[in-house]
Structure 1
Amino acid sequence: MTINLLLVEDDPEIREIISDYFTEKSGGTFRLDSAPSGEEGRQKCLEQEYDLVLLDVMLPEVDGFTICREIRKRSDVPIIFLTARHQERDRLQGYHLGCDDYIVKPFSLAELYAKVTALLRRAKGMASNEIISAGGIRMDLFRCQVFVNDQEAVLAPMEFAILKILLENRGRIVSRESLLIRIWGYDFAGNERVVDNHVKKLRKALGEAAGQLKTVIKRGYKLEG
């Protein structure tokens, strides 16, 4: 079976390196199509269906955030951002728009390959599942909406990102360190108290369902339901 990937990246060296690595590593299973500009990448997404999209943010003509927003209006294809933009606001923007992962350059090819294969496995088994829920909480991943007992709860991007991770790990403890790394990145200079502050805001936004979000002393947080 051939897996069709799209790489939208304006650096020809990066395109060549990723293409060669993925082709060799997959034994030819991965077929990597590429686009050197945002406009060409957008056109390819309109003309052909892909199993996964690798997307730079800073692109000629059309930026990656715009392309991601347009893709999410009609498709749940996995999207991974590959970008030099490492600021917290950029990561949060990417997740808010519906990306599945956000990788900052320079990156490990082996790690990128592992993330791609893991996302593809999950997508093949859950392609039609656009809603994740726990108890009275329901999240529409591709419309970026959260509902509590069928009433919409307005969440800031940071709280949305935290809730998404907790929903995906429903019933399991998620450490503060894990939340920091996944949302803020390895190079974040702050401490774990920033997580506690945003969880406090999340509880307030969840209203009636706030009791589902449990604090596990010295370990982290767990979402029940």
Structure 2
Amino acid sequence: MIGGTNFPNTTASFQPMSASGHTQTHVLLVEDDPSVAMTIKDMLESEGYNVRHVDNGARARVAVADPSEPQPDLIILDLMLPDTDGLVLCADLKTRLSAPVIICSASPRKRDAVLGLRLGADDYIAKPFDVEEFLTRVATVLRRAQPWGARPAPSAFGSAPAAAPSAIQSNGAATPSNETHAAPDGTFQPATGGSASSSAGGAGSVAVGPLSLEHARRRVAFAGEELQLTPTEYRLLATFMARPDEVLSRQELAQVVWGYEDASIGRSIDVHVHRLRTKLLASQEQHGIPGPSVVSVRGFGYKLLEDVSCMAA
């Protein structure tokens, strides 16, 4: 468990890479406890990360708005700050930046994890934490935030993409699956390709009607116009587009977004899907043409319907 500043360097072969392709990954640490901040900072810097530490919400907002400083590739955020509610700060930062956010907190409120994820956080780590687990989660979140072609190979603290939930036995062992396999970005891809109406636009790209997604550029467009999605929305859409017209459970989607399933977290998928659906429908209305959208399947989950015009009243 965390409790000192001397950590064995077991990931010497791992080279952190920012989403922009730089070999140095910039981390903004928002933590008001000096001893905890020093421990986390030393731990991350020993793995090659560049860490900037601030101790309250006001300084965090200044840091992300400072043009003289590089934008963070990752934000690690404590919830119990002296000048602001960490959950409010999380929501604020997610509206300003595309960088992933990891909440790291000792908050006694059990629902803070759920609320944080609903507000856009990419992971939640409870204090006290295991050092190896902490570094694994950091590496995993950063890997998911990178464009497909820029992702480093898994390291001692990086994990391989999870197997599809349908391929996990009750004892936790993976078994062969004829239905899906895990793609490099953590989304689940059909083993034999998408539906007949989905067309691959080259390696790492897919199109469903006027909606297109390019993994290499991490770009989503509707009728040629780029859509601005959060990393979570992007991962969800990539998964839906890989399996159009297929119902996906909240647990499957939680596995894609956060790398693990949890009944209490699964419902937070509803919030992210709602935001994604709102953006897709707004694009259709703007261009005056029908297109795919995410629809709910009561009691089961969600699916990408390739043409929602048939649902118009």
- Under a length normalisation based on structure 1, what TM-score does the superposition of the two structures give? 0.62
Distance 1:42 1:212, change over 3 A: same
TM-superposed deviation, 1:21: 1.4
User: Which ranges of 4 or more aligned residues in structure 1 deviate by more than 3 Å?
Assistant: 126-131
Residue-by-residue CA offset, 1:64-92 (whole Å, 9 max, x unaligned): 21221111112221101111114332112
- Matched with 2:24 is 2
Q: Which runs of 5+ in 1 are unaligned?
A: 138-161, 184-194, 215-222
CA distance in 1, matches of 2:138, 2:295: 37
User: Residue 63 of structure 1 corresponds to which residue in structure 2?
Assistant: 85
- Kept in 2, the 8 Å contact 1:57–1:63? The answer is yes
Aligned length: 167
Aligned residue type for 1:210: V
Residue 37 of structure 1 aligns with an amino acid whose one-letter code is N
Contact 2:32 2:56 in 1 (8 A): yes
Q: Which amino acid aligns with 1:95?
A: L
User: Superposition pairs for residues 24-103 of structure 1, below 5 Å?
Assistant: 24=46, 26=47, 29-47=48-66, 48=69, 49-103=71-125
Q: 1:115 & 1:69 partners in 2: Cα distance?
A: 20
Question: TM-score when scaled to structure 2?
Answer: 0.46
The 5-angstrom pairing of residues 151-190 of structure 1 reads 163=250, 165-167=251-253, 169=255, 178-180=261-263, 183=265
2:129 to 97, 100, 107: 107
Q: Which amino acid aligns with 2:106?
A: A
Indicate how the Cα distance of structure 1 residues 21 and 208 shifts in structure 2: closer, same or farther if over 3 A, else same: closer
For residues 210 and 64 of structure 1, do their structure 2 counterparts lie closer, same or farther at Cα, with a shift above 3 Å needed? same
8 Å contact 1:86–1:104 — kept in the other structure? no
CA-atom RMSD in angstroms:
3.6
Q: Secondary structure at the match of 1:44?
A: helix
Whole-Å separation in 1 of the counterparts to 2:75 and 2:51 = 10
Structure number, greater radius of gyration: 2
Unaligned runs of 5+ in 2: 1-22, 149-217, 220-228, 275-293, 305-313
Q: Percent identity?
A: 27
**Per-residue deviation, 1:41:** 1.5
Return 110-119 or 82-91, whichever deviates more.
82-91
**Structure with the higher helix share, 1 or 2:** 1
SS at match of 2:84: coil
